[in-house]
Amino acid sequence: MAFKFERLEVWRLSLAYLEQIYGIANQLPPHERYNLRAQMIRAATSINLNIAEGSIGQTNAEQARFIGMALRSLFETVACLHIVRRLNYLNDVTPLDEAYQAAQVLARKLTALRKHLSPEQRWVREEAVEYQVYDQWTMDDGR
């Protein structure tokens, strides 16, 4: 018999995303071992663990709160991806692009799940604006 969280698509996606983050983190320079590398791994692990913890016999509102924490951790990993790219820590940026795309999918699915669990909740949202996209997901200076 599977645990409830094991049946959740977002949990399985978060596990795959965690593997992507580990792959990137393991390519970082040695001087980032206890800083950026450790932070990326902690945040990606937190996504997975919050989804699992929130699924345990909680009310929908409580589970939605844990999904919100998973989203925060996901966004933290996205910020780390930007740092890795900006500091040119990887020769091949393909893993960064792939992880960024996976993060977008995971963010959409986590947001939908949270809204489904607690539709009456008014979530704080970023103001809707038109984002200018630069070469893939890079910053405006072309990095």
CB atoms within 10 A of CB 121: 13
pLDDT score, position 133: 47
Q: In this prediction, what percent of the chain has a pLDDT beyond 90?
A: 72
- Closest by CA to 113, choosing from 12, 15, 9, 3, is 9
Q: How confident is the model at residue 123 (pLDDT cuts 50, 70, 90)?
A: low
Mean pLDDT for the chain? 88
Q: How many domains does the chain have?
A: 1
Does some domain include residue 91?
A: yes
Residue type, 42: R
* Residue 75 CB neighbours (<10 A): 14
Mean pLDDT of 63-68: 93
**Burial class of residue 60, CB neighbours in 10 A (0-12, 13-18, 19+):** middle
Region 26-46 average pLDDT: 97
> Domain with 104 in it: what CATH number?
1.20.1440.60
Express each pLDDT in 72-96 by its tens digit: 999 999 999 999 999 999 999 999 9
Tell me, yes or no, whether 95 lies in a domain. yes
Beta bridge partners of 138: 134
Band (137; pLDDT cuts 50, 70, 90): low
- Whether residue 125 is contained in a domain is answered as no
Q: The whole model's pTM is what?
A: 0.84
Is residue 61 in some structural domain? yes
51 located within any domain: yes
- Picking from 45-49, 98-102, 113-117, which range would have the lowest pLDDT averaged per residue? 113-117
Residues 143 and 141: their CA atoms lie apart, in Å, by 6
Domain membership flag for residue 63: yes
With respect to residue 85, please indicate whether it lies within any of the assigned structural domains. yes
Model confidence band, residue 58 (pLDDT cutoffs 50, 70, 90): confident
- For residue 102, give the nearest of 34, 23, 49 by alpha carbon: 23
Q: Is the pLDDT of residue 127 over 70?
A: no
Query: What range does the domain containing 36 cover?
Result: 4-117
Could you tell me which residues come within 8 angstroms of residue 54 by beta carbon, excluding any fewer than 6 positions away? Answer: 5, 62, 63, 64, 65, 66, 67, 69, 70
pLDDT exceeds 80 at position 4 = yes
Burial class (CB in 10 A: 0-12, 13-18, 19+), 81: buried
Token pair listed for 47: 């996504």
pLDDT exceeds cutoff 70 at 131 = no
Task: Identify whether 137 is part of a domain.
Answer: no
